[in-house]
Amino acid sequence: MFLPLLAAALLAACVWRSGVLRPYLTFIWHCFIRPLGKIGDQKARLDEFYAGQASVYDSTRNALLRGRKTMLSLSAAHLKSMRKNSTNQRLVWVDIGGGTGHNIELMDSFMPIAEFDAIYLIDLCEPLLQVARKRFASM
Protein backbone atom coordinates (compact mmCIF):
# COMPACT_ATOMS: atom_id res chain seq x y z
CA MET A 1 0.00 0.00 0.00
CA PHE A 2 2.79 2.42 0.88
CA LEU A 3 4.93 1.70 -2.20
CA PRO A 4 2.27 2.61 -4.83
CA LEU A 5 1.49 5.81 -2.92
CA LEU A 6 5.16 6.73 -2.76
CA ALA A 7 5.58 5.97 -6.47
CA ALA A 8 2.57 8.16 -7.33
CA ALA A 9 3.92 11.00 -5.19
CA LEU A 10 7.36 10.76 -6.81
CA LEU A 11 5.84 10.67 -10.29
CA ALA A 12 3.69 13.72 -9.50
CA ALA A 13 6.74 15.58 -8.15
CA CYS A 14 8.79 14.75 -11.27
CA VAL A 15 5.99 15.82 -13.61
CA TRP A 16 5.47 19.05 -11.66
CA ARG A 17 9.19 19.80 -11.54
CA SER A 18 9.62 19.21 -15.28
CA GLY A 19 7.13 21.97 -15.97
CA VAL A 20 5.64 20.18 -18.99
CA LEU A 21 2.25 19.64 -17.43
CA ARG A 22 2.41 22.49 -14.91
CA PRO A 23 0.06 24.84 -16.81
CA TYR A 24 -2.54 22.10 -17.20
CA LEU A 25 -2.25 20.90 -13.61
CA THR A 26 -2.58 24.51 -12.44
CA PHE A 27 -5.67 24.93 -14.63
CA ILE A 28 -7.23 21.68 -13.34
CA TRP A 29 -6.56 22.65 -9.73
CA HIS A 30 -8.08 26.12 -10.03
CA CYS A 31 -11.04 25.13 -12.22
CA PHE A 32 -12.14 21.82 -10.78
CA ILE A 33 -10.57 21.02 -7.41
CA ARG A 34 -9.83 24.18 -5.43
CA PRO A 35 -12.88 25.47 -3.52
CA LEU A 36 -13.91 29.00 -4.47
CA GLY A 37 -15.46 30.03 -1.21
CA LYS A 38 -18.10 32.71 -0.92
CA ILE A 39 -16.24 35.97 -1.13
CA GLY A 40 -17.61 39.31 -2.22
CA ASP A 41 -19.30 40.15 -5.47
CA GLN A 42 -18.87 38.83 -9.03
CA LYS A 43 -15.65 40.78 -9.60
CA ALA A 44 -14.11 39.50 -6.36
CA ARG A 45 -15.05 35.91 -7.26
CA LEU A 46 -13.55 36.32 -10.76
CA ASP A 47 -10.35 37.74 -9.33
CA GLU A 48 -10.13 34.88 -6.83
CA PHE A 49 -10.85 32.25 -9.51
CA TYR A 50 -8.25 33.54 -12.00
CA ALA A 51 -5.55 34.79 -9.61
CA GLY A 52 -3.72 31.48 -9.47
CA GLN A 53 -4.07 30.63 -13.13
CA ALA A 54 -3.65 33.98 -14.91
CA SER A 55 -0.06 33.17 -15.85
CA VAL A 56 -1.10 29.92 -17.58
CA TYR A 57 -4.43 31.20 -18.95
CA ASP A 58 -3.36 31.56 -22.58
CA SER A 59 -1.49 28.27 -22.84
CA THR A 60 -4.37 26.28 -21.36
CA ARG A 61 -7.12 28.07 -23.29
CA ASN A 62 -5.50 27.47 -26.69
CA ALA A 63 -6.80 23.91 -26.56
CA LEU A 64 -10.21 24.95 -25.24
CA LEU A 65 -10.93 27.97 -27.46
CA ARG A 66 -10.34 26.34 -30.82
CA GLY A 67 -12.35 28.82 -32.88
CA ARG A 68 -10.32 31.82 -31.77
CA LYS A 69 -7.95 31.99 -34.77
CA THR A 70 -10.79 31.35 -37.23
CA MET A 71 -12.84 34.14 -35.65
CA LEU A 72 -9.94 36.58 -35.82
CA SER A 73 -9.11 35.61 -39.40
CA LEU A 74 -12.71 36.14 -40.51
CA SER A 75 -12.95 39.40 -38.57
CA ALA A 76 -9.74 40.68 -40.16
CA ALA A 77 -10.99 39.78 -43.65
CA HIS A 78 -14.27 41.57 -42.96
CA LEU A 79 -12.51 44.65 -41.58
CA LYS A 80 -10.15 44.83 -44.56
CA SER A 81 -13.13 44.62 -46.92
CA MET A 82 -14.96 47.37 -45.03
CA ARG A 83 -11.81 49.49 -44.94
CA LYS A 84 -11.58 49.45 -48.75
CA ASN A 85 -15.09 50.88 -49.03
CA SER A 86 -14.70 53.62 -46.43
CA THR A 87 -11.11 54.66 -45.88
CA ASN A 88 -12.03 57.77 -43.89
CA GLN A 89 -13.84 55.90 -41.10
CA ARG A 90 -11.95 55.29 -37.85
CA LEU A 91 -11.15 51.67 -37.02
CA VAL A 92 -11.73 51.05 -33.31
CA TRP A 93 -11.71 47.65 -31.61
CA VAL A 94 -13.37 47.19 -28.24
CA ASP A 95 -12.41 43.75 -26.91
CA ILE A 96 -15.01 43.10 -24.21
CA GLY A 97 -13.94 40.33 -21.87
CA GLY A 98 -10.51 40.48 -23.50
CA GLY A 99 -8.72 39.12 -20.43
CA THR A 100 -5.00 38.76 -21.11
CA GLY A 101 -5.08 40.54 -24.48
CA HIS A 102 -4.18 37.34 -26.31
CA ASN A 103 -6.78 38.02 -29.03
CA ILE A 104 -5.19 41.38 -29.76
CA GLU A 105 -1.76 39.80 -30.03
CA LEU A 106 -3.12 37.05 -32.32
CA MET A 107 -4.98 39.56 -34.50
CA ASP A 108 -1.65 41.10 -35.44
CA SER A 109 -0.87 37.99 -37.52
CA PHE A 110 -4.07 38.48 -39.55
CA MET A 111 -4.21 42.27 -39.65
CA PRO A 112 -1.56 44.57 -38.20
CA ILE A 113 -2.90 46.08 -35.01
CA ALA A 114 -1.12 49.30 -35.99
CA GLU A 115 -3.91 49.76 -38.57
CA PHE A 116 -6.42 50.28 -35.76
CA ASP A 117 -6.97 53.86 -34.66
CA ALA A 118 -7.68 52.64 -31.13
CA ILE A 119 -7.96 49.34 -29.28
CA TYR A 120 -9.70 49.04 -25.92
CA LEU A 121 -9.47 45.91 -23.80
CA ILE A 122 -12.22 45.65 -21.19
CA ASP A 123 -12.36 42.99 -18.50
CA LEU A 124 -13.52 42.72 -14.89
CA CYS A 125 -10.74 40.38 -13.85
CA GLU A 126 -7.69 42.17 -12.46
CA PRO A 127 -5.31 39.14 -12.59
CA LEU A 128 -5.97 38.73 -16.33
CA LEU A 129 -5.63 42.47 -16.90
CA GLN A 130 -2.22 42.38 -15.18
CA VAL A 131 -1.10 39.82 -17.77
CA ALA A 132 -2.40 42.12 -20.54
CA ARG A 133 -0.55 45.12 -19.10
CA LYS A 134 2.71 43.16 -19.09
CA ARG A 135 2.04 41.91 -22.61
CA PHE A 136 1.56 45.40 -24.04
CA ALA A 137 4.00 47.35 -21.85
CA SER A 138 6.70 47.11 -24.51
CA MET A 139 4.46 48.16 -27.40
Taking residues 47-72, what's their average pLDDT? Answer: 87
Does the residue 131 lie in any domain?
yes
Per mean pLDDT, which range of 34-43, 108-117, 119-128 is the poorest? 34-43
Give the rounded distance of the alpha carbon of 25 from its chain centre.
16
Contact 112, 85 (CB under 8 A): no
Range with the poorest average pLDDT among 30-39, 59-68, 108-117, 125-134? 30-39
Question: What's the pTM value of the predicted model, to 2 decimals?
Answer: 0.74
- Tell me whether residue 78 is in a domain: yes
132 burial (CB, 10 Å; 0-12 / 13-18 / 19+) is buried
Among 115, 110, 98, residue whose Cα is nearest residue 71: 110
Q: Kindly state whether residue 59 falls inside one of the protein's structural domains.
A: no
The answer to whether the beta carbons of residues 48 and 37 sit under 8 Å apart is yes
* CA separation for the pair 62, 49 (Å, rounded): 19
Q: Which residue has the higher pLDDT, 11 or 101?
A: 101
Q: Which residues pair with 122 in a beta bridge?
A: 96
Q: Assign 86 a pLDDT band (cuts: 50, 70, 90).
A: confident
Q: Is residue 29 part of a domain?
A: no
Residue 119 lies in a domain: yes
State how many domains the chain has.
1
Q: Which residue has the higher pLDDT, 42 or 13?
A: 42
Domain range for 70 is: 66-136
